[in-house]
Structure 1
Amino acid sequence: MQRNKLIPLLAIIGAGVLPSAHADQFLDNRWYAAPFASYIRAGGDRDSKDGFGGGLAVGKILNEQFNVELRGFYNGLNGKQGNWNLEGGTVDLQYYFTRNKFAPYAVLAAGGLNTCVSATCGAGILAEGGVGFTYEVHDNFLLRSDVRYRYNNNYHIQPGNTDYNDMVVNVGFVIPFGEKPKAVAKLDIPAPAPAPVVADCSTKDSDADGVNDCLDKCPNTLKGSKVDFNGCPVRLILKGQNFKHDSAELTPESKLILDEVAASLNSYPEKNEIEVQGHTSSEGSDAYNLKLSQKRANSVVAYLKSKAVTNKLTAKGFGESQPIADNKTEAGRSENRRVELIWITN
């Protein structure tokens, strides 16, 4: 039996797997293909020599911990009764302890296996368990290897012997499809320091941004903006029904809001670059929401430019990837349907 040989391997992997903090939100949910080659160490119950094989898996990253895969494989063994030909398929569930460059995981699999020895063939059930790792060489190319204990129950091959136990070592690579999603760095604006005591300094705050007029370098900040120590905006969220349903066309109400934004931008002495970010709620597919959010961001940029805004404006859509509220409720989904203006500081 090969299962006891997995215990030291589990200990080695487990020793290096300690919880680690992640600075960025995990956003990767791509599909991928994973071809592999196999070495099978046959259990004594098969009365055969070790052999080789290979296969192909198609999988999807579900979240930071789990992948799911469909795998097909072939293994060949040389035995005293003749060659063993093993053809099977499994559904795999992988649990990743971390998602770093080196990412160890545990795997459980279940499926079926058709075995032919000489002229005798028969199908049976298959179960596997093991540990492995991936190593990210590039965003779209990872090396992968795992070692598994395999159990196969087959009533058709050898009279009186229905249980087969093998160890399988797989080596291959993973090719994710599409660009790897990356978290956008969030602005972390520290709490304003206490205003210095200045003789005869006014305590008036005309634009209600928390910075006194005598220290405010941007005294006409639009209401709702987050500002820096100088009272200049760094972020503005445009909420509400800004677009017509399922469209990138601005509503009359949103144009009035953008008129205020344009007037405010044109009054600033600073002309920072501004990234206009489009966001959606979770209705619809990821791909559709990403395109819609990009179109909506483009619409806002085009409108602001039509109002003679001279700041450099860049449109970027994020789809449903960065919710700020619960998408399970209509109130939360309404919060997530938004456009954000982010001032890029040098």
Structure 2
Amino acid sequence: MLKKSLLTIASLTSMGFLPLAHAADQPVDNRWYLAPFGTFIKTDSDRHSDDGWGAGLGLGKMINQHINLEIKGFYNELDRDRTRKDWELAGGTVDLQYFFSRQRLAPYAVVAAGGMNTYLGGRNAIGFIAEAGLGLTYAVTDNFLLRSDVRYRYDNNQTHVQRGTTEFDDMTVNVGFVIPFGAKPTYVARAETPVADVPVAVAAPDCSTLDDDHDGVNNCVDRCLRTPESSVVDNAGCPVKLVLKGQHFMFDSAELTPNAKELLNGVAESLSAYPQKNDIEVQGHTSSEGSNAYNMKLSQRRAASVVEYLRAKGVRNRLRATGYGEDHPIADNATEAGKSENRRVELIWIEN
């Protein structure tokens, strides 16, 4: 049975590490966290015991966008009949978790190793344990995640706490939550790219004197030759920000005006002709007229209206609509000119 158990652990472990060659990207999140959990344990028949329950607490750190490292302690209790003493299991492991993605619903594989103290009928012994399994987390907020996993646990019983067997093979189901410390790191829109890092396109000899899309970047180095008018671009001529302001929505409404649709048509054509894989956040902003709650809803509806229009035009980028209400003015709300400047929608290209 020992040989079979070790082969099972080795197989699950190797499966968990197959994608590690792709984990060298910059971390999305690198915070410390606490992870309390409850446990249901499906016992090995060799224990001659009912299934049991337990609880524990983990302290971990998100190392990069794929890896979590966690130290965990636990206590389990298994019921037996009235003529025999209950099992009491207390121990700890070091867990290595591999996340296949860091989306809101994030699957992961886990391997763990550690020690466990077993108490049974007056006998007490410490042995080695190893675990392997699969799990899921669900991010309710940036600072609260639900988590559950199912694990195979190998328990070395060489000290013969229960005579007649030298090992146990249990199954555990853990359900709990994760509480990260501090604010979640956010992506920052690409502001500028050093010219030295931009590959020079092969073009006609006079390309350095041409700027077909009038974005301030000549055709020799411009990688996005159909940039929408009024875009803010990086040194490669690709947009990082586009502001829709003025009469782009009907009064007190999220309905786009013909002028806005014409400008967004140019955005859609540019993304189709020169596709960028960046996510795009569509931010809605208002002036200070009206209540803050109303302005927040109006800005969200206007941002969502832009997202819906771009999707209808075939834009494949991941688009996220966010309303900021009157919280981020760029001009003085005490004047009509300032209020007009503050009524805007911004498209922000997110750096991946």
What's the TM-score once normalised by structure 2's chain length? 0.50
Q: Percent identity?
A: 49
1:183 positional shift = 1.3
Q: Helix, strand or coil for the counterpart of 2:184? A: coil
2:185 corresponding residue in structure 1: 181
Q: 1:97 to 1:46 in 2, by over 3 A?
A: same
Moved over 2 A (4+): 24-27, 185-189, 209-213, 215-218, 226-236
2:33 corresponding residue in structure 1: 32
Q: 1:160 to 1:181 in 2, by over 3 A?
A: same
Q: Distance in 2 between matches of 1:131 and 1:117?
A: 30
Contact (CA 8 Å) 2:128, 2:155: kept in 1 or not? yes
Q: Distance in 2 between matches of 1:106 and 1:67?
A: 10
- Tell me the C-alpha RMSD between the 2 structures: 4.8
1:109 corresponding residue in structure 2: 112
2:144 corresponding residue in structure 1: 141
Q: Helix, strand or coil for the counterpart of 2:86? A: strand
Q: Helix, strand or coil for the counterpart of 1:32? A: strand
Unaligned ranges ≥5, structure 1: 19-23, 195-202, 204-208, 219-225, 237-311, 314-343
Q: Deviations over 1:24-47 (max 9, x none)?
A: 964211111100000011111111
Q: Deviations over 1:214-246 (max 9, x none)?
A: x9798xxxxxxx99978997558xxxxxxxxxx
1:46-57 equivalences in 2 (<5 Å):
46-57=47-58
Contact (CA 8 Å) 1:210, 1:231: kept in 2 or not? no
**How many matched pairs?**
217
Equivalent position amino acid for 1:48 in 2: S
Contact (CA 8 Å) 2:86, 2:120: kept in 1 or not? yes
1:66 corresponding residue in structure 2: 67
Contact (CA 8 Å) 1:32, 1:176: kept in 2 or not? yes
Q: 1:188 to 1:211 in 2, by over 3 A?
A: farther
Contact (CA 8 Å) 2:147, 2:175: kept in 1 or not? yes
Unaligned ranges ≥5, structure 2: 20-24, 194-199, 217-222, 236-329, 332-345
Contact (CA 8 Å) 2:215, 2:233: kept in 1 or not? no
Q: Distance in 1 between matches of 2:131 and 2:231?
A: 60
Q: 1:156 to 1:186 in 2, by over 3 A?
A: same
What's the TM-score once normalised by structure 1's chain length? 0.51
1:188 positional shift = 9.2
Q: Distance in 2 between matches of 1:141 and 1:93?
A: 20
Equivalent position amino acid for 2:182 in 1: G
Q: Distance in 1 between matches of 2:347 and 2:97?
A: 42
Contact (CA 8 Å) 1:216, 1:231: kept in 2 or not? no
Q: Distance in 2 between matches of 1:217 and 1:71?
A: 55
1:212-291 equivalences in 2 (<5 Å):
234=233
